[in-house]
Homo-oligomer: A and B are copies of this chain.
Amino acid sequence: MALSAIEVNQLKQAPAVEGVLPVVLGRWSPRAFAPREVSSADLKKLFEAARWAASSFNEQPWRFLAGRRGSSAYKKIFDSLVERNQAWAGSAPVLILGVAKSTFSHSGSPNRVALYDLGAAAALLCLQATALGLSAHQMAGFDPGAARAAFGIPENFIAGAVIALGYQGEPSTLPDEQFIAAEIAPRTRRPWNESFLSAWDEPLDLG
């Protein structure tokens, strides 16, 4: 199973559906990253996409701590990852930690959808990565407390996910067979009518 990065990328494409955004169907989350830097110009485009996400009261609750490999921020984020993610994520040239402000700035009251809005901004960042030929892999597997301590994140911000970013690499560079198997497995999702419902546990009927 010596699949190349290009073959894997083809394998990971969701089936084409006419009219559905190719960038949505083509986005997936590699663990193997190539030894290639991401330009500052491209990073700015990712950040531009993220900032235009929708948010409740236009709070834009998202903050992203980000760094290139070698920076203090990168090390702090990497050190917060669980061991199983550290095993591969160090090949990504950029790491980004997304956090969300859990209170509204205009009122101080709790923002119930802070993580929801952070997830939206991160999703746009990852889609924009795909559009630029980059790849992103989001991880919940890190220690939010360690990240909070390392960066001095205030109490009214909550950690979301870490994003590993870079160019997709060769699966053979991954540290073990389990990672390689995941890297070359097709993506799977439930059919849409198991998630879109007209009543609880009743699929929406669109004919």
List chain A positions with a Cβ less than 8 A from chain B. 14, 17, 19-21, 23-25, 27, 29, 40, 42-45, 47-54, 56, 58, 60, 62-67, 71-73, 96, 112-113, 115-124, 126-128, 131-132, 138, 140, 144, 151-154, 160-161, 187-193, 195-200, 204, 206-207
Contact = CB atoms under 8 A, between A and B. Distances in A.
B120 A123 contact: yes
Q: Is the interface of A mostly helix, strand, loop or mixed?
A: mixed
Given A24-B52, A25-B52, A117-B119, 8 more contacts: A20-B128, A73-B197, A112-B140, A116-B116, A116-B161, A120-B123, A121-B123, A151-B199
11 contacts: A19-B42, A20-B131, A54-B138, A56-B140, A65-B198, A73-B197, A112-B140, A115-B116, A117-B119, A119-B123, A151-B199
Identical chains bound together, number: 2
A62 B66 CA distance: 28
Contact of A116 (B48, B50, B122): B122
Contact of A71 (B67, B117, B161, B198): B198
